[in-house]
Structure 1
Amino acid sequence: MATQVDSGPVVRPRLVNPANFLFATRDTGYKTTGLAIAELIDNSLQAGARRVAVEVAATQSPGRQIEIMVVDDGEGMDAVTLAEALTFGGTSRFNDRTSLGRYGMGLPNGALSRSRRVEVYTWRPDVVDVLWSRLDIDELANAGDAALPPVEHIDRPAFVPDTDSGTVVRLTRCDRVEYKRSSALARRLGDDLGRIYRRFLANGVSLQVNGQLVVANDPLCLQPESKIIGGRQFGDDLLYEIPVGSTSGTISVTFSELPIDRWHGLSTEEKRTMGVTAGPPVSIVRAGREIDRGWFFMGGKRRENYDDWWRCEIRFDPVLDELFGITHAKQAISPRPELLEIISPDLETIARALNGRVRNRFMLVKAAEPLSAAERQAARAEASLPSLPRGRRPIPDELKDLVDGLSRHEAPYQIAAAELPTMGAYEVVVRGRQIIVLLNTKHPWYRDLYGPLAMSELGRDHDLARQVALTLLASARAEATLRRGAERGHAQRLRQVSADVLATFMNA
């Protein structure tokens, strides 16, 4: 028979030690202050704000600690909502899959990751005064209390704008920001927030940092209003419809190519400032807001230097959070194997194709160096040659796109290499007073003669490539002096027959 033992009073330990929890949660691990502040801006946008201002300033306190405020014109909060907003998990939208927030952790988590005290001021049209509350980790730790101070009604502070509704989140005693100078932190925030919220900025949201409008910063360089433009979309968007229970979510993927011809000659510092070199090529966007960037979904392809010159944006609906491995901090993904199986094969194939295109483009860029030298040398001699006949000469339809893509300048000659839609070794076009020679990279003449000379590491080979280019320019100029259409037609046919024979000789 079992003996009953008196175990004494029942011990019911607290689920959370308030002080330890608050200090531990500061180490959530936001990668940057920009990502922490983004949590506060997410709340503003969910509250319907169309104008959000971030203020960064150094206080007069010892050490001149940084203070950060996020001010919006959203719908504001009542007392109950404000009290919930400062608690962990306190939200009426818990597990919401329709917008930016989901867990109700963003405000306290993001704020305390960078500061020791956060104050919230909020107002609505139906309330005369301003509601105020705070979360101060030192205050709570000293009191040994798990309860927040009550919400108070206060007169409108001077830093609260005179709008019908809105909210101010104020971070003081910021002891975990990356920069000691407020101006440096403000510049970094402007760059980060312009990238994170580029799609919201394109849709009319106004975002400022220290009074300066934040400009959209599209890493694909496709958005017309982006700080840097010039990218070109590669192919059509890829769309994946993923079933999730009784519903489904969409993944959209866009690739772009950066303009190698225009940017390859920039300095290393300029490329770094523009985000070309060493920048993460893949951007992950959830509900219109960037949450991560890096090297994702590329299968077995290793990253190379050539991969600096293309970009990929992957957008997904919040209903797919579990597949992407989203945490409450919304700053990183950890894709599940089943998601990798769905999209990685396609993305790896495209990445390899883009890598090859970049490699070929750089080869053409290198091959263009002797062409540029030939252009300059021919231009110096132009004044001693007979003038070209005037008159408009139509550009063949199949060459118009290539010609339109060339930069316009006043030099008398321009030579470019490309895969031509013709079988000729080269084509001659007259645009105004300029003679354009298009070399066909598909022809054996380029493949076996000019290309190897131009891409050689030997200076004498480059000189030979320049002399070959001058020979073509002379032939092209002679053709451009023909006045009659019939004469030009004969010259074009002779050039085509000669190219066919040359290809036969070189392939024999």
Structure 2
Amino acid sequence: MATQVDNGPDIRPRLVNPANFLVATRDTGYKTTGLAIAELIDNSLQAGARHVDVEVATGRGPDRQIEIMVIDDGDGMDATSLAQALTFGGSSRFNDRSSLGRYGMGLPNGALSRSRRVEVYTWRRGTGVLWSRLDIDELVIARDAVLPPVELIDRPGFVPATDSGTVVRLARCDRVEYKRCSALVRRLKDDLGRIYRHFLTNGVSLQVNGQLVVANDPLCLAPGSKITGARRFGDDLLYEIPVGSAVGTVSVAFSELPIDHWHALSTEEKRTMGVTAGSPVSVVRAGREIDRGWFFMGGKRRENYDDWWRCEISFDPILDELFGITHAKQAISPRPELLELVSPDLETIARALNGRVRNRFLLVKATEPLGAAERQAARADVSLPSLPRGRRPIPDELKSVVGGLAQHDSPYQIVAAELPTTSAYEVVVRDKKIVLLLNTKHPWYRDLYGPLAMSESGRDHDLARQVALTILASARAEAALRRDTERGHAQRLRQATADVLATFMNA
């Protein structure tokens, strides 16, 4: 039988020491100011805001610390909701799985992680502006756990004249990673454009110091994104996972970055675009990015080739426990059962993409002598008879290959690609220019041109250039034929030669 210990006259320890708790909670560990501000923007979006402005300025105090405001045109709050919003866990949507928030910790937690004072101004149609605050220094001095009462105030100048909305003002920001406003503004635009890319492409307006935040899709697929040009790889994967009586969905999309167009960029350009030193996998919860890194890849280790593909994993908030989501919403820690379900598929696809990237880089290297052959042929082109006039249709089986090629200034363009034919090469005349398509599947390319072009020897590279010139000369001679019957004979001879050559080289 337990016996109560006498602690003196009715001494009961408080569950939380408010002053110490507030100081300690600042170390929650938001990785960046952008992630802390995202907690406030989450609240704005959940309140139905379509326009959110983030204002960054130097404070007027003697220490000139940065101040940050988040201004929205959402539904606003009444006095009760405002009082709850500044408390930890004081949300009317506690444990709500339908949207961005869940625990009611975002506003005080995110704000205090970067500032020592947070003020909230909120209003609705036909009402004045309500104001309240949470100030660490005030509460530490008072050693009290009670917040100041909500007040009705005159509308401050920074509160917009919308029918409803909320302003969250962070003062005395002593924990931002930048001391200059301009540097913080640049970082916020990049971070918020990535975190809220799906909201931005769906019409939400987000600004930082009056500058529009542009969606930054790491898959480089979304129209209007900061950087585009990638190609979707395969169909999206879809997993439906039972959770009690409900079902949560995980969807996975992959993309391939355009190696042909971006491989020659400088190291700095690739880093600025996020190609290198980035995170291939982005994890999205309820349309909002919460983490990025190297997830669900099983036993595959990351390699340099993995910089050139991207993956987005989206899931419903009902699956928070499986993904290991905490109240900070800035990292995942997947449960073993989720890893067992998803990782085998994603690892297989990642290995396939890695191999495709590797092969594409080998192909890019193999095309270097082709550029030299193009330039040499272009210099000699003025000495050759002009090509016959008239439009020449592109064969249907080659339209997808030719249609994806960039326009070329030179009279010659040589491209290596997997062709849907068995010919060693195909000849296309487009806009009075000759396009020579080398078939990488043919033994001529595989066993003769390819090894020479991918060799480390300069002599082999020179031989590869001369081999390419030989084929280009044949292509130009065929293109110079004026009669359809002559061109038909030439095409049939080219195909027959390719078939015999493949037989010889495979023997």
Q: TM-score range by the shorter chain?
A: over 0.9
Kindly tell me: are residues 376 and 62 of structure 1, through their superposed partners in 2, closer, same or farther at Cα, counting changes over 3 Å?
Answer: same
8 Å Cα contact 2:59/2:172 also seen in 1:
no
In the alignment, what sits opposite 2:73? 73
Match for 2:397: what amino acid? E
Deviation readout 1:282-332 (Å, 9 max, x if unpaired) = 000000000000000001010000000000001100000000000000000
Match for 1:212: what amino acid? Q
In the alignment, what sits opposite 2:98? 98
In the alignment, what sits opposite 2:216? 217
Deviation readout 1:148-183 (Å, 9 max, x if unpaired) = 011111111111111111100000000000100011
Whole-Å Cα distance in 1 between the matches of residues 170 and 258 of structure 2? 41
In the alignment, what sits opposite 2:25? 25
Deviation at 1:465?
A: 0.4
In the alignment, what sits opposite 2:249? 250
Deviation at 1:358?
A: 0.6
Deviation readout 1:322-343 (Å, 9 max, x if unpaired) = 0000000000000000000111
Whole-Å Cα distance in 2 between the matches of residues 218 and 100 of structure 1? 19
**Secondary structure, aligned partner of 2:334:** coil
Alignment of 1:1-150 (within 5 A): 8-127=8-127, 129-150=128-149
Deviation at 1:409?
A: 1.9
TM-score, normalised with respect to structure 1: 0.98
Deviation readout 1:221-279 (Å, 9 max, x if unpaired) = 11101011101100111111100000011111110011111111111111101001011
Alignment of 1:343-362 (within 5 A): 343-362=342-361
Deviation readout 1:179-238 (Å, 9 max, x if unpaired) = 000111011001100000000011111000000010000000111010111011001111
Runs of 4+ in 1 over 6 A off after TM superposition: 2-7
Whole-Å Cα distance in 2 between the matches of residues 457 and 283 of structure 1? 37
TM-score, normalised with respect to structure 2: 0.98
Whole-Å Cα distance in 2 between the matches of residues 418 and 279 of structure 1? 28
Deviation readout 1:338-389 (Å, 9 max, x if unpaired) = 0001111111111111111111111111111100000000000000101111
Deviation at 1:126?
A: 3.0
In the alignment, what sits opposite 2:387? 388
Gapped regions of structure 1 (runs ≥ 5): none
Whole-Å Cα distance in 2 between the matches of residues 4 and 154 of structure 1? 51
Deviation at 1:17?
A: 0.5
Whole-Å Cα distance in 2 between the matches of residues 195 and 213 of structure 1? 13
Match for 2:152: what amino acid? H
Alignment of 1:344-423 (within 5 A): 344-423=343-422
Gapped regions of structure 2 (runs ≥ 5): none
Deviation at 1:8?
A: 4.9
In the alignment, what sits opposite 1:337? 336
**Secondary structure, aligned partner of 1:76:** coil
In the alignment, what sits opposite 2:269? 270
Deviation readout 1:129-155 (Å, 9 max, x if unpaired) = 211000001110000000001111111
Structure 1 residue 459 corresponds to structure 2 residue 458: yes
8 Å Cα contact 2:425/2:439 also seen in 1:
yes
Deviation at 1:10?
A: 4.5
Match for 1:91: what amino acid? S
Whole-Å Cα distance in 1 between the matches of residues 192 and 238 of structure 2? 27
In the alignment, what sits opposite 1:155? 154
| Matched pairs, number | 506
Whole-Å Cα distance in 1 between the matches of residues 7 and 401 of structure 2? 89
Whole-Å Cα distance in 1 between the matches of residues 169 and 205 of structure 2? 19
Match for 1:299: what amino acid? G
Deviation at 1:392?
A: 1.3
Kindly tell me: are residues 9 and 420 of structure 1, through their superposed partners in 2, closer, same or farther at Cα, counting changes over 3 Å?
Answer: same
Match for 2:368: what amino acid? E
**334-343 or 54-63: bigger deviation:** 54-63
Kindly tell me: are residues 154 and 352 of structure 1, through their superposed partners in 2, closer, same or farther at Cα, counting changes over 3 Å?
Answer: same
Deviation at 1:432?
A: 2.2
In the alignment, what sits opposite 1:328? 327
Match for 1:482: what amino acid? L
CA RMSD of aligned residues (A): 1.3
In the alignment, what sits opposite 1:241? 240
8 Å Cα contact 2:372/2:465 also seen in 1:
yes
**Secondary structure, aligned partner of 2:367:** helix
**101-110 or 59-68: bigger deviation:** 59-68
**Secondary structure, aligned partner of 1:315:** strand
Matched-pair identity in %? 84
8 Å Cα contact 2:365/2:454 also seen in 1:
yes
Match for 2:92: what amino acid? S
Kindly tell me: are residues 368 and 45 of structure 1, through their superposed partners in 2, closer, same or farther at Cα, counting changes over 3 Å?
Answer: same
